Structure 1
């Protein structure tokens, strides 16, 4: 039987959590923060997503709030009893003068799985966002499942970024070729939205051999990176995070 679950988080400017609702595989825990923000850690309560599951996680930083959401472990997409794809939606929002840091652990696409993930973020004009996505294509020594991942971001009601990536069986040809992953099995991105970039735009540049910074048409920068494994990917994105997001 497929699972349907939605977990919700809302953080207020005074540091409180008016909403902290766990559901299904998402056990939400308030944890200690080292930077003064309100921090919530997502703890996996069961194996998910499996084929046919429909999961959602919503996080909102209300006006003036500072919210960090991270995770205790990686998410592993697994095959289920049905051939239907699993669906995982993340809905983020940040109000006026709010800061939202979305820093989950990697998503692992296990062999035989089929996952469609869609992250949306709606930001006020002066909100700040740090969003990290890491995808590992297959567990050690195995081929990946099918993974389709879309990221849609709007700022002050206007589109900032809308992109879709697809890997594994059934994905458009060439996803593993020299023009895309070139044999790498870990791929990720870091999106930083900061009103301060309006006065000092980010310059496009390479970060080492396998990561690049691209300024977006707005006060934002997108870092894309590939690596041979999850550890190498995290190191590349951590370097980018330290350089781009002092907040």
Structure 2
């Protein structure tokens, strides 16, 4: 679907990315994803990443739009060996233009070896996300997460206790974010280069989708 991917009531999308060896993998999405109204039902979007033996991943995702009356749970899990690096952009948009977006709950976990590097849970349901400590008046949450290396110091970049960083922007329109570039830190090591692309997200691994009744 070159025009975009759809997430409908009852869908469960699982994307697995497995990279082993001195490989630099870049995932390029050809279009964003829209989660549509679900009439009281819900959907899931799960991403599992595993990097071993010096692998590097760069994945700058296209916008993930949660339309009015959608209810989505989205999780990202990343397991890295020491010496591996990843840089992942997740651009979450609550509602299409002129809409009050639906409910989105996210969970992010990342490990380097046996050490937990990042654990974050966000409840972006309409009744919770307008608090000053979450989104306030913003409609879009744009995040670049670096694992196994650090992003440059900047006012809106959080350096994690372990080797990693989170750069985040809260904006009303997704195109207002300045996180569209890359830090250049990922993939600096020599090795093979791979690129995958797709509307739902091209991966080196498996993509699974189970569709319910719509």
Q: 1:117 aligns with which of 74, 79, 92?
A: 74
Q: d(CA) in 2 for partners of 1:189 and 1:44? A: 24
Q: d(CA) in 1 for partners of 2:30 and 2:76? A: 19
| Shift in CA distance, 54/246, structure 1 to aligned 2, threshold 3 Å | closer
Quick check: 1:167 aligned with 2:124? yes
Quick check: 1:132 aligned with 2:102? no
Moved runs in structure 1, 4+ residues, more than 6 A?
none
1:16-95 correspondence to structure 2 within 5 Å: 48-80=6-38, 83-95=40-52
Length-normalised TM-score, structure 2: 0.79
Q: Is residue 138–residue 172 contact of structure 2 (8 Å, CA) maintained in 1? A: yes
Q: Is residue 112–residue 148 contact of structure 2 (8 Å, CA) maintained in 1? A: no
Q: d(CA) in 1 for partners of 2:4 and 2:100? A: 23
Q: d(CA) in 2 for partners of 1:213 and 1:136? A: 20
Counterpart secondary structure, 1:231: helix
Q: Is residue 147–residue 166 contact of structure 1 (8 Å, CA) maintained in 2? A: yes
Q: d(CA) in 2 for partners of 1:46 and 1:135? A: 15
Q: Is residue 88–residue 118 contact of structure 1 (8 Å, CA) maintained in 2? A: yes
Shift of 1:138: 0.4
RMSD: 2.2
Quick check: 1:237 aligned with 2:179? yes
Unaligned 5+ runs, structure 2? 189-214
Residue in structure 2 matched with residue 5 of structure 1 by the alignment: none
Larger Rg, first or second structure (1 or 2): 1
Shift of 1:79: 2.1
Length-normalised TM-score, structure 1: 0.69
Q: d(CA) in 2 for partners of 1:137 and 1:128? A: 29
Residue in structure 2 matched with residue 185 of structure 1 by the alignment: 139
Q: Is residue 122–residue 153 contact of structure 1 (8 Å, CA) maintained in 2? A: yes
Q: d(CA) in 2 for partners of 1:45 and 1:158? A: 40
Q: What whole-Å deviation, never above 9, does each CA across 1:126-182 have from its counterpart, x for those lacking one?
A: 00100111101100001101001111111112111010112233x5x3x21333222
